[in-house]
Chain A
Amino acid sequence: MFSYIFISPLYILLLYLLLFQTASAFDYRAYGYIQPENTFFLNGDGKHNQPKNNLSVYTQGTFISYIQDDNAKITVNGIGRYDENDKERTYYDFQKLKYEYYYDDFIFKIGNELVFWGVNESFSIVDIINQSNLAEDISGTKKLGQPMASISYNKDYGIFDIYVMPYFRERPFSGKKGRPRLTFEVDKNSITYESSSKKNKIDFALRYSTVLDDFDIGISHFYGNNRTPKLSPNLATLKFDSHYSILSQTGLDIQATKGPWLYKLETISAKDGSERHLSTAGGIEYTYYGIRNTPSDLGVIVEYAFDDRNDNPFNNEGIIGLRWSVNDIKSSSLLAGYLFDMRGNSNRFQVEFEQRVTDDLKLFLDLSLNGSIDDADFTYQFKEDSSVTLKLAKYF
């Protein structure tokens, strides 16, 4: 899985810089956390004989050192998880393992990086650089570090970014004992690519982003291996075969910030293999500040996603969410979301609560409830996977 670390000479340079360049004036910051988690599934044991209780431990560590008279920086951000049941969810990764050099209006960067594009809370359709780790979380918000070389040119009228990505990361999916998981396992030995270079295909991306008064605007283009594979059931192996096509995607993201109102829009036009499709998602967020004369704030989020492909699971979906920030010493907050598919009558309900217990201990409680789900819906395979997860993070 981590052979890419050794194939790239970039990492040798990085290692050299880490070992020797920093030694002269070793000024660094390091921090991280370790987080035991327990998930309890409300429908008993799973369809694939997964137990109703799952224990795992997640950890993350960050190291930052400014070097070369503060003209350069090394960042290492490693994450890892041990999962008692799912082998595919037991992993480690370097989301960031990079060397950056600042020169005038330029930032030169090599190594693994985490890049986020877009403005939406829920439907991140423009975001494409990093592979989603679906073994971590089926929402796809947890990412894998993307090896790259990039140049960023920063002017007061905006930022131009160019990315060259020499190595592709395949999407991790839950394993046999993972929960939630797809009906079939994804066969890691049956992966095909449209590109003859397969995972060594060099991907490219460009982005221009700027701020015009109340508007934050980004225009982007990506050309490379699609991060999302097409899965097709193989009746011989009873597993999913995956195919990564070549994606050419142009994206636009805009946020308007007008007092307590945020207006968000993301749209892409993409050629995936031989087919072109259009996808748009956007929404409105409004925050009531100081509700009932307390310091707490209540935000209301409404987002909708449209995709002109009928087989896309997010082709006509909406979410209504509430975010309650208590603004107390414990930074208590509650995020509740109701997701619904506007074609059928599938719906899901999610709640995330968090609160600091002591200065270096934080508690998270997540609730995920599947309501009625059409048997034709993509999420039908997760119908029996409603769960409650308790996490306790210890920071150091």
Chain B
Amino acid sequence: MRYFKIIFIIYVLFPLSLQAETAEELGLRIAKASYDNGRGFTDMTSDQLMILIDPQGKEVTREISGKTLENLDPNDGDKSITYFKTPKDVQGTVMLSHTHINDDDDQWLYLPALGRVKRISSSNKSGAFMGSEVAFEDFSGTDYRKYSWKYLGEETKNDESFYILESFPLYENSGYSKRISLTDSLNRTRQVDFFDRKGELLKTLYLEDYVLYKDEIWMANTMRVENVQNKNKTIFKWVNRELDIGINKKDFDKSSLMRLVD
């Protein structure tokens, strides 16, 4: 009994103790806690604003809206529908994605001018989303299952302490060689440095405006990306985010796409 008490003290009172875990195990545990922080939403709708800023400070804004269906399958990813609203020439275009953790996603695009649904190749997870500094793979960047992890230590910034984690992509077509992220004491990922395939620092992502939904789900409503190589910036904002509203699962099938488009 006393023995159990000691274990209890180690695990509960010193949860970040290194005594029982390797740096890899600890890194994975923090990453999983951070991921689980944003799960349990069932489904979600939101409008999104994307502000693209060039090195001279010139801004353009893009508007999209979307629906997401949480996938509870531990071996598979979420499903999403994206409606493109601006720039106006892409209005009416709709994208359906069935994401997979460490494999290519399934993606279909509805092209309104032709009345045509096209299955598109999605091995471009590293590709830029609508000319921004955000890659497709960044949208699910907090999914711990996509990386191998290592705990590097702690850092204090502006009187706040962060765990420093290093992660290496498991997806073979990832655009990154590694990432270094900072996770706060509430297990929220706050900053991620991305290194390109050559190992050079490419960009830094700041996750901001965290909002607590349903008393247990943390979601960042602003993603700010600063590319250090081309000096472009992208600010991605979620507005009107609503969770658990009971969207029909079938809406996310290809067979339902035709009822969701113009």
Taking Cβ atoms with an 8 Å cutoff, the residues of A that contact B are 29, 31, 33, 62, 64, 73, 75, 77, 95-96, 100, 102, 105, 107, 113-116, 119, 130, 141, 143, 152, 154-156, 158-159, 211, 216, 255, 257, 259-262, 285, 287, 289-290, 293, 295, 297, 327-331, 356, 359-360, 362, 393, 395-396
Contacts and interface: CB of A to CB of B under 8 A. Distances in A.
A262 B238 CA distance: 34
A363 to B, nearest CB: 11
Contact of B119 (A152, A158, A255): A255
A295 B126 CA distance: 9
Contacts of B71: none
B174 to A, nearest CB: 11
B114 A155 contact: no
B86 to A, nearest CB: 7
A31 B116 CA distance: 19
Contact of A257 (B115, B119, B124, B255): B119
Contacts of B60: 329, 359
B262 A115 contact: no
A248 to B, nearest CB: 24
A290 B119 CA distance: 20
Contact of B121 (A96, A287, A393): A287
B89 A33 contact: yes
Contacts of A328: 131
Contacts of A331: 87, 89-90, 131
Contact of A287 (B52, B119, B124): B124
B88 A289 contact: no
Contacts of B119: 119, 216, 255, 257, 262
A297 B127 contact: yes
A265 to B, nearest CB: 13
Given A75-B262, A327-B131, A395-B88, A159 B255 contact: yes
B254 interface: yes
B87 A259 contact: no
Nearest to B256: A154
B89 A362 contact: yes
Contacts of B115: 95-96, 113-116, 130, 143
Interface string B75-100: 00000000000111111100000000
Contacts of B114: 114, 116, 141
B128 A327 contact: yes
Contacts of A330: 131
Nearest to A293: B196
Given A216-B119, A259-B173, 14 more contacts: A62-B112, A62-B262, A64-B262, A96-B115, A113-B115, A116-B116, A154-B253, A211-B254, A257-B119, A257-B121, A295-B128, A356-B87, A393-B89, A395-B88
Interface string B227-246: 00000000000000000000
A33 B88 contact: yes
A62 B113 CA distance: 10
A211 B121 CA distance: 15
Contacts of A261: 121
Q: Name the prevailing secondary structure of the A interface residues.
A: strand
B175 interface: yes
13 contacts: A29-B262, A31-B92, A77-B262, A102-B259, A113-B115, A114-B114, A114-B115, A159-B258, A257-B121, A287-B123, A289-B127, A290-B124, A328-B131
Given A156-B250, A329-B60, A329-B131, A260 B123 contact: yes
B60 to A, nearest CB: 6
Complex A-B, nearest 5 residue pairs according to Cβ-Cβ distance, in ascending order? A114-B115, A395-B88, A116-B116, A295-B128, A154-B255
Sort chain B's interface into a size bin: 35 or more
A317 B16 CA distance: 67
B92 A155 contact: no
Contacts of B253: 154, 156
A327 B127 contact: yes
Contact of B88 (A105, A295, A360): A360
A328 B253 CA distance: 30
A100 B119 CA distance: 24
Contacts of A119: 119
B138 interface: no
A329 B256 CA distance: 31
Nearest to B126: A290
A152 B121 contact: no
B131 A154 contact: no
A331 B104 CA distance: 23
A327 B104 CA distance: 20
Contacts of B131: 295, 327-331
A149 to B, nearest CB: 16
A139 B111 CA distance: 18
Interface in B168-221: 173, 175, 196
B128 A31 contact: no
Given A107-B259, A327-B127, A262 B121 contact: yes
B255 A158 contact: yes
Contacts of A64: 262
Contact of A360 (B87, B106, B112, B196): B87
A100 B86 contact: no
Interface centre among B88, B91, B123, B258 (most CB of A within 10 A): B88
Interface centre among B117, B126, B254, B255 (most CB of A within 10 A): B255
B121 A260 contact: yes
B88 A359 contact: yes
A158 B88 CA distance: 32
Given A216-B119, A255-B119, A289-B127, A100 B92 contact: no
Contacts of A356: 87, 89
A82 B206 CA distance: 51
